[in-house]
Amino acid sequence: MPLRSSPSRVALVSITSALALNLAGCGGGSHGSSDVTATDAQVIADVTSSNIQASYGAGFNLNATWRWQGTPQPTVTVYIPPPSSTDANQQTYASEAQTTVATINRKLAGLLVLQAVTTQPTSGNYIEVSYGTAYVPPGSTDYASYCSNVSTAPYSGTPIYPDANANIAPVPVYVNLGNGHCDVTQDIVTHEFGHALALSNHFNGFGYGPSISTAFWDVLATLYGNPPLTASSNLKVVRAAP
């Protein structure tokens, strides 16, 4: 579905979304942005700003990392509902979600396993892909900047947050893809899974500039390559697989 935007509107949208602390919604990133890489110090700074400093959503500050947990590595169920046979958007989003799951499993091999299922889990926590339910602020028609988001419910702008044990609190975690007026690209879907895996705030290479980047993968690998409840000063940088 085409964007409802004139060229000048697109330019305005990309400026405003770059300036916003964009917890509630995610657009497509800057078109043509080159890759972003991060030094060890920058990776640690990005884990700190995106994850550690975002734990206040729970009403307390852990001052340490929080994320999906499991031994020897977290196995996270991803419920991808069968798309409607008559809805091409749903079919595209379901396919993109499957590709994102495979890519994350490859890039974070040994650190994290995502397990895609097509029936709703009845116990435990999981990620649920939800079609067409992205949060758009009341009165806004800025559909491109609010193309998708991760939240506690469909159509909600509330970000996810940790419990006191540094695990993911909301059950399930919703990945809301699309609002009926924007294109959810493969990179946007992967970006949203970054949020669902507890990268809360955007950083350079994750929503600022491109949707995802080499820096994004290394920040995610470092979050899952260190034990939960690791303080910023104790983080060791872990690079994602190429």
Least separation in angstroms between residue 157's CB and Zn ion is: 12
Do 166 and 62 contact (CB within 8 A), yes or no?
Answer: yes
Please report, as ranges, the residues that interact with Zn ion according to CB under 5 A: 26, 207
Decide whether 26 or 112 has the Cβ nearer to Zn ion: 26
CB 26 → Zn ion: shortest distance, Å? 3
* Nearest CB to Zn ion, comparing residues 73 and 156: 156
Give SS3 for 55. Answer: helix
Query: Which DSSP symbol is given to 148?
Result: E
Comparing CA positions, the residue from 187, 226, 201 lying closest to residue 74 is 226
Closer of 78 and 230 to Zn ion (Cβ): 78
| Nearest C-alpha neighbor of 104 from the set 178, 215, 194 | 194
Nearer to Zn ion, 163 or 187 (CB): 187
Please state the closest distance from residue 234 (CB atom) to Zn ion, in A. 27
Q: How far is the CB of 164 from Zn ion (least distance, A)?
A: 26
Tokens of 16: 């405003």
User: Is the Cβ of residue 26 or residue 38 nearer to Zn ion in the bound state?
Assistant: 26
The distance of closest approach from Cβ of residue 207 to Zn ion in the complex, given in angstroms and rounded to an integer, is 4
CB atoms within 10 A of CB 170: 19
Shortest distance in whole angstroms from residue 71 CB to Zn ion: 29
- Work out whether the CA dihedral 147, 149, 152, 156 comes out positive or negative: negative
C-beta of 126 vs 146, nearer to Zn ion: 146
Cα dihedral sign, 223-55-228-49: positive
Which residue sits closest to Zn ion, CB atoms considered?
26
Burial status of residue 139 (CB atoms within 10 A of its CB: 0-12, 13-18, 19 or more) = exposed
